[in-house]
Amino acid sequence: MALAISRPYARQVNIASGLDLVAGLWLFLSGWAVAAVESLQWNNWIVGAIVAIIAAVRVSGAKTAAWLSWVNAILGVWVIVSPWVVSDTRLDATIWNNVITGLAIVILATWSALATNRGARETGVAATTTMRRDPTL
């Protein structure tokens, strides 16, 4: 199925969202590997799963749904601040894990959303929440 964004930008959406999927999976796994405080473990499991699912949806076909990437960017900001909000952890590894992973999620999700918007402008089609067929392909 051809998408309503140009191919170079669709590829950027795939790369950025694929890497965002990896970051979400790492966040999920870090609940066991790094987070020593139970409240932060639950936070990382839940938010990591949501980020990974949204990124997987983007990779698997929702190339024009830029709003999904913006949701992930907001979740990335939450990941950055969550060690101080949901726990009083003083563990450097836990804090740095969330800050670095959150920054990666924000950067990758923003890249994916902006690539969607640029690609849609290039083809003259507004980025929406649905996929559209490109009649020229």
Sequence length of the chain is 137
**Per-residue confidence (pLDDT) for residue 98, from 0 to 100:** 95
Instruction: Determine the pLDDT at residue 68.
Output: 93
For residue range 60-86, list pLDDT tens digits in order. Answer: 987 788 899 999 999 999 999 999 999
Percent of the chain with pLDDT over 70: 79
Is pLDDT of 19 > 80?
yes
Q: In the chain, where does DSSP find H-type helix?
A: 7-33, 38-60, 66-85, 92-123
Of 1-5, 66-70, 100-104, the range with the lowest mean pLDDT is 1-5
Closest CA to 101 of 130, 72, 125: 72
Sequence spans of domains, the chain: 19-123
> Residue 134's pLDDT band (boundaries 50, 70, 90)?
very low
